[in-house]
Amino acid sequence: MGGQQDPAAELDPEQRAAVLAPRGPVCVLAGAGTGKTRTITRRIAYLVAQGHVAPGQVLAVTFTKRAAAEMRNRLLALDAVGVQALTFHAAALRQLRYFWPRVIGDDQWRLLDSKLPVVAQAARRAGTGTDRETLRDLASEIEWSKASLISPEEYPAAVARVHRATPAPAEQVVAVYANYERLKNEASVLDFDDLLLHTAAVMEEHGDVAEEFRDRYRSFVVDEYQDVTPLQQRVLNAWLGERDDLTVVGDANQTIYSFAGASARPLLDFPRRFPGAVVVRLERDYRSTPEIVSLANRVIEVARDRPAGTRLRLIGQRPPGPAPVFLEHDDEPAEAAEVARRIRDLLAAGTPASEIAILFRVNAQSETYEQALGDQGVPYQVRGGERFFARTEVRQAVAALRTEGALREERPLPDRVRAVLARLGLVAQPPEGGAARERWESLRALAELAEETVRLAPGTDLARFVVELDLRAEARHPPTMEGVTLASLHAAKGLEWDAVFLVGVAEGTLPIQHADGDDAAIEEERRLFYVGVTRARQHLTLSWALARMAGGRRYRRRSRFLSGLAHQDHPAAALGRTTGRSAPDFRSEVARCRVCSAALTAIMAIKLGRCERCPADLDEDLLRRLRTWRSERARKLGVPGFVVLTDATLTAI
Ligand code: ATP
Ligand code: MG
């Protein structure tokens, strides 16, 4: 293998230990940005390069489509071509498609597009309330039950055991859940959880299938293992059988799917389950500036119920960068406009659009930002990526490719695909703005997917590419698009950007309204916030608005998670303006904390006795001098206490 990068280069000693460990159980427990994903992709590339395993024998799984795409890209850069890196669902879907005809027979099945209509029908049959909110709650409850391996019959005892608040009386949930399963069976449709359930069942019940599978895949890798559900764990166990060639990496502080049944337990228990496992802990953060790392540390150190072994502090490795910015706005449109303006400035200063993300708690927030970006002429990744394959131009393109693919031409795949797409409007120059631009972007995404596909699997022909498109459509796995990323916090985990705008950091949004009063839910929201702030490499902006609509009543408060992060005693600082009211000549050079290089203000230093950010203790002597200096200065100049300490000032005292 002529690797573009040496898989064992540029690793710290702990990362190297995990990369070079012999085949067998390996577990990396570490915080955000410490190189977990880097370590597993390097490990795969290393094992492949050394000939310990063939690329096609490795199955790497993760939880979100974006994270799986990220893994594929990193593997590609390491020349580990042919390794499968998929979401759990996509892996199960492929497996099921392959084995289904042999095991179940010719029964055709469809994947359920949306649970809600079936849940609605199930609820009507059960005589339960059918308003939209109840239905959504019931759908989530069914999802949680299935992910937790709880059948309708087991449901009442299970929820009683864990003291779970149920969306309706337990016996009603049971009735809806049972009806839902029945309706799906009658219509031969499977939901996403069924893909996993059937995969596990097929492996457990058909020895020959299990054997064939285990002969094909011999080495398993799971990223983001802190978010595994009992159902996914069951699939993983079925894949493994008696073997132990499993590498897992995760961070218990980033568990953000426990509402859906996920738990960090299997990650934390891994060393007990595999006593011979190589266990590695990482604490050096290679992703973010020390300013962002110190903020992240403060976000998570106040989290409650952190299990032993997860209380690591991240140590920033990168050179200092700009301080995180806190922005408060009157209303959401104003917030979005300001974010869009700042993004335009970053683009003008040379940051590529693909290195910028706007992250939000709920998808409903996206629209305001799409509007604002559109107004500023900023390209963004089309939202609702899930619906990519439902777009008219994409459906037309897939149909045209299918016709064209009827199976003999020598030209390379990307050329053939481009020729077909050109007929549908993929011209060289993108049209200006609006729907035409969006259409053009979708077609370009398909063209680029063809290129990526042949890079990953050389020799793919058009017919095979169309099958790949069908699989992606079924798994709702859109190709990557150009532009600023708009993503929910859940979809952003594992990813990183130079500049991150974490928006809507207000009570009721982050934490979300319904978490209020529920300690466990609030802690999960806090972890989500932690995931958000740790996505940024260089620029982190946290913003919120006091009213939703322009001119609306300003009744919102900034998020509780910001306390201790923004200078809450001083509104000007919270707004990201200078904290200084000192003479202008003092503003340019700001004295910084020795440990995290945060700017020190006299008032906060004196009040806290420590740095506001990291929080290193300030020595008594410095504090005493500060106090004297401040009262002197205030007396002489009538300047209030909020003074930025500059190097010049410190030299003077
Ligand atoms: P998360 O918990 O968010 O998934 P992670 O632990 O998986 O984070 P990675 O994404 O693997 O972290 O790494 C974070 C960044 O640091 C990446 O850009 C990666 O290339 C870089 N990095 C990791 N290890 C090193 C290293 N030893 N030297 C230089 N850069 C590194
Ligand atoms: Mg990662």
**Ligand 1 atom at minimum distance from 254 CA:** 2
Percent with pLDDT over 90 in the chain: 52
Q: What does pTM read for this prediction?
A: 0.79
- Which of 287, 318, 493, 498 to probe ligand 1 with, by most ligand atoms within 8 A of CB? 287
* pLDDT higher at 361 or 8: 361
**Ligand 1 atom at minimum distance from 285 CA:** 16
Residue 455 within a domain? yes
**Ligand 1 atom at minimum distance from 31 CA:** 2
Same domain, 376 and 499: yes
CA distances from 130 to 114, 117, 124, 126 (A): 16, 10, 7, 10
Same domain, 369 and 489: yes
Tokens 């992703």 appear where?
Answer: 287
The residue whose C-alpha atom lies closest to atom 15 belonging to ligand 1 is: 287
The residue whose C-alpha atom lies closest to atom 8 belonging to ligand 1 is: 33
What dihedral do alpha carbons 442, 444, 449, 454 form, nearest 10°?
160
Distance (Å, rounded) from C-alpha 8 to C-alpha 597?
32
pLDDT at 309: 64
The DSSP bridge partners found for residue 110 are 189
* Of 368, 364, 369, 389, residue with least CA distance to 379: 369
Residue 240 within a domain? yes
pLDDT at 624: 73
Distance (Å, rounded) from C-alpha 545 to C-alpha 412?
51
Residue 305 within a domain? no
The residue whose C-alpha atom lies closest to atom 23 belonging to ligand 1 is: 35
What is the pLDDT confidence band of residue 525, given thresholds at 50, 70 and 90? very high
Q: Is the pLDDT of residue 483 over 90?
A: no
* Of 588, 653, 580, 644, residue with least CA distance to 622: 653
Strands 497-502 and 356-360: parallel
Same domain, 496 and 559: yes
Q: Which of 474, 502, 537 is the last residue of a domain?
A: 474
The answer to the question of whether 321 is labelled as a binding residue is no
The answer to the question of whether 564 is labelled as a binding residue is no
The answer to the question of whether 31 is labelled as a binding residue is yes
What is the pLDDT confidence band of residue 642, given thresholds at 50, 70 and 90? very low
Same domain, 257 and 243: yes
Same domain, 527 and 488: yes
Residue 556 within a domain? yes
pLDDT at 377: 79
Q: Is the pLDDT of residue 611 over 60?
A: yes
Distance (Å, rounded) from C-alpha 417 to C-alpha 404?
9
Gap from CA of 596 to ligand 1 centroid (Å): 20
Gap from CA of 240 to ligand 1 centroid (Å): 27
Gap from CA of 490 to ligand 1 centroid (Å): 19
The residue whose C-alpha atom lies closest to atom 20 belonging to ligand 1 is: 38
Same domain, 376 and 393: no
- 412: number of CA atoms within 13 Å, CB side? 11
pLDDT at 653: 32
Q: Which two tokens stand for residue 509?
A: 């949004």
CA distances from 285 to 161, 172, 296, 297, 617 (A): 39, 48, 11, 11, 22
Q: Is the pLDDT of residue 384 over 70?
A: no
Gap from CA of 286 to ligand 1 centroid (Å): 6
The residue whose C-alpha atom lies closest to atom 30 belonging to ligand 1 is: 286
pLDDT tens sequence across 335-382: 999 999 999 999 999 999 989 999 999 988 888 898 888 788 787 875
**For the chain, what is the mean pLDDT?**
84
Q: What is the mean pLDDT of residues 267-283?
A: 95
Residue 491 within a domain? yes
pLDDT tens sequence across 117-175: 999 999 999 988 778 888 989 999 999 999 999 999 999 999 999 888 898 999 999 99
CB contact set of 100 (below 8 Å; sequence gap of 6+): 107, 109, 202
CATH of the domain at 541: 3.40.50.300
- Ligand 1 pocket: which residues have CB below 6 Å? 10-12, 15, 30, 32-38, 251, 254, 286-287, 494, 496, 534
Same domain, 373 and 490: yes
User: Within its chain, how far is the Cα of 612 from the centroid?
Assistant: 29
* pLDDT higher at 31 or 371: 31
Same domain, 488 and 370: yes
What is the pLDDT confidence band of residue 284, given thresholds at 50, 70 and 90? very high
- Which of 37, 493, 531 to probe ligand 1 with, by most ligand atoms within 8 A of CB? 37
Gap from CA of 38 to ligand 2 centroid (Å): 7
Residue 540 within a domain? yes
* Of 150, 131, 114, 69, residue with least CA distance to 449: 69
Q: Which of 146, 164, 187 is the last residue of a domain?
A: 187
Q: What is the mean pLDDT of residues 236-259?
A: 95
Residue 306 within a domain? no
Least reliable range by pLDDT among 185-194, 346-355, 516-525, 589-598: 589-598
Q: Can you give the residue range of the structural domain that contains 600? A: 584-652
CATH of the domain at 146: 1.10.10
As a three-state string, the secondary structure of 11-27 is CCHHHHHHHHCCCCCEE
Same domain, 82 and 124: no
* Of 327, 234, 258, residue with least CA distance to 527: 258
Exposed (0-12), middle (13-18) or buried (19+): which is 628, by Cβ within 10 Å? Answer: exposed
Gap from CA of 38 to ligand 1 centroid (Å): 5
Gap from CA of 531 to ligand 1 centroid (Å): 14
Q: Which of 574, 592, 622 is the last residue of a domain?
A: 574
**Ligand 1 atom at minimum distance from 30 CA:** 6
Same domain, 228 and 350: no
Query: Which parts of 88-190 are beta strand (E)?
Result: 110-111, 189-190
Distance (Å, rounded) from C-alpha 526 to C-alpha 511?
7
Same domain, 206 and 350: no
Same domain, 470 and 395: yes
pLDDT at 316: 93
How many angstroms separate the first and last alpha carbons of the chain? 63
Q: How many domains does the chain have?
A: 5
The residue whose C-alpha atom lies closest to atom 31 belonging to ligand 1 is: 286
Residue 293 within a domain? no
What is the pLDDT confidence band of residue 509, given thresholds at 50, 70 and 90? very high
CA distances from 76 to 7, 44, 65, 73 (A): 12, 11, 16, 5
